[in-house]
Amino acid sequence: MEVTLIYLSQSGNTRTVAETMATALRDAGHGARTVALEVATPRDATAGELVGVGCPCLASQAPTPVKTFLRTLPPLGGRRAFVFATSGAAPGRVLADLSGLLRGKGAEVVGGFLARGQDHHPAPYLNGLSPGRPDADDLAAARRFAVAVGEHVATGRSGPLAESRADAFAPTERFYDLVARLSSDAVLRVVEPEPRLDASRCDQCGWCARVCPIGNIALEPYPLLGAHCIRCYRCLNGCPKEALDASWRFADPVIRLIYNRAFLRWFGDLRPGERLR
């Protein structure tokens, strides 16, 4: 069986999970390849017998670039699919977003997997949450899931995969699902600060413009952010010259209120005894 895994990865967490799954599928005798969303085409989603789509969780939901890509796909005509994501401790609708869009294109989604991932969001409260994740146990779980989904599809079994998370098929409608519904890109542009350029540090290399997942940065000749920033902070986190920054004076207290430890345990998926910092 031929499997394609299409993924968006901002800090490397989701890429690691995708590559781990692909290796497990190859070890199980299948053909498997990974394709970064930046270079993926709709044709990649229709190649082979099984497609997996993965992304990080952003504001308790799937990021806009992934949703946009899935909306551009042609009808998938019953093609089997699975979804996967990395998240801190408040995944909200991320898996349901992916599976819902795939099902809307006619795919049969057989399962979903989620791994903890260290948070690289630059907000002081979020930065560094879930340190060292995904760890060896997370990746072992990703391997087991990949082997199970491969066997499930290759043997022609019907229905959802038993090893799947329930929220891969429908949102839970809990607190963080509501947060995701409210956290549109427009709302995030109001709540979270815009990256600001320190021109004295910038060498106009164009890295930020190349990696912006929605093509929102132009060089004129210094980087200029457009009106459609999704506050993923890829440009800020990865700038080789550390020429971008943001003020978290007002946003960080709001983030602390929404993503505090108690809420992550009550409404998210933080398990008792699990290390958050």
**Domains of the chain and CATH, by start:** 2-178 (3.40.50.360), 194-246 (3.30.70.20)
The average pLDDT across 2-31 equals 98
Query: How far does the chain reach from its first CA to its final CA, in angstroms?
Result: 41
Q: Is a pLDDT exceeding 90 seen at residue 49?
A: yes
The average pLDDT across 128-157 equals 97
Q: Rounded distance, CA 272 to CA 277, Å?
A: 14
At 116 the pLDDT is 97
Tens-digit pLDDT profile for residues 157-196? 989 999 999 999 988 889 999 999 999 999 999 999 999 9
At 172 the pLDDT is 87
Q: Rounded distance, CA 188 to CA 61, Å?
A: 12
At 203 the pLDDT is 97
- The chain-wide mean pLDDT, for the chain, equals 96
Output the CA–CA distances (angstroms, integers) from residue 180 to 58, 137, 143, 227, 259, in the order listed.
9, 28, 28, 21, 12
* Percent of the chain whose pLDDT exceeds 70: 100
Q: Is a pLDDT exceeding 90 seen at residue 146?
A: yes
Tens-digit pLDDT profile for residues 209-223? 999 999 999 999 999
Q: Rounded distance, CA 247 to CA 82, Å?
A: 38
Give start and end residues of each alpha helix (H) in the chain. Answer: 13-27, 42-45, 64-71, 94-104, 136-154, 175-182, 185-191, 207-211, 234-238, 251-258, 261-266
Q: Rounded distance, CA 37 to CA 126, Å?
A: 25
What 3-state class would DSSP assign to 214?
coil
Radius of gyration of the chain (CA): 19
Tens-digit pLDDT profile for residues 215-274? 999 999 999 999 999 999 999 999 999 999 999 999 999 999 999 999 999 999 999 889
